[in-house]
A = this chain, B = another copy of it.
Amino acid sequence: MPDGEDKLVGEFPFFPKQERAQQKRKALIDSGYALFNSKGYDLTTAKEIASHAGVATGTFYRYFSDKRQLLLSLLEDKLENFLPPEPSWIAGDPETVLISLLETHYKRLEEVGLHRVLPELIAKDPELADVLGKARRKIHESITSGLQQAQEQGLTWSDMDVDTLSWAIMVLVENGPDKENQCGRKIDCKEMASLICRMVFPPEVLKQLRKQEIEIQE
């Protein structure tokens, strides 16, 4: 039987094998994501993930070499979401900019969710730790370069250490409002933004930048 006839029969609705496979892969990733988040990595079994995805146990291993690999796939495309976005410091009132940046970031983090299992994993998967470390280093660099620009324009504290500062910003953002076991009070994005601004800009610069902002709006 020629190919053509086959196609004519089955074409519409039509899923090429690749696509169907991609769908299954997607289902597995989604299930892994859901289960890792709700029960933790260790307590989730490959069998569970498969059955939650509506496929057989063995199928899991057609798409992923093992449980760990699924996790890595999971992180792959969501990795950047775990990390704070690169702020742009000089376009308008930095505080306002930061606030919206932070709010967006935390909303995404909450959506991604996976951040709750990461500590468990990093502790026992050095490779994963490495992957994450690299990503963080990239973010760190981008924050650093942003700060450097601002510093070159004379906007920041003159004696500021760019590296330390960008590390501090990163750490603060990463340990922001969502982290569990926090110290009672929920951290507020507005206060956080204000704090970060104080670390970067002297008060008079901040006032200046804020005024510009208003002028631009007008």
Q: Contact residues of A with B, CB < 8 Å?
A: 39-43, 116-117, 119-120, 122-124, 129-130, 132-133, 136-137, 139-141, 157, 159, 161, 163-168, 170-172, 174-175, 180-185, 187-188, 191-192, 194-195, 198-199, 202-203
Contacts and interface: CB of A to CB of B under 8 A. Distances in A.
29 contacts: A42-B42, A42-B120, A42-B123, A43-B124, A119-B119, A119-B120, A120-B124, A122-B181, A133-B180, A136-B181, A137-B184, A139-B183, A140-B183, A140-B184, A161-B191, A161-B194, A163-B191, A164-B188, A164-B194, A164-B195, A167-B182, A167-B183, A167-B185, A167-B187, A170-B183, A171-B172, A172-B172, A174-B175, A195-B199
A168 B172 contact: yes
A117 B42 CA distance: 14
Nearest to A202: B203
Nearest to A159: B194
Nearest to A119: B119
A51 B119 CA distance: 28
Nearest to A143: B183
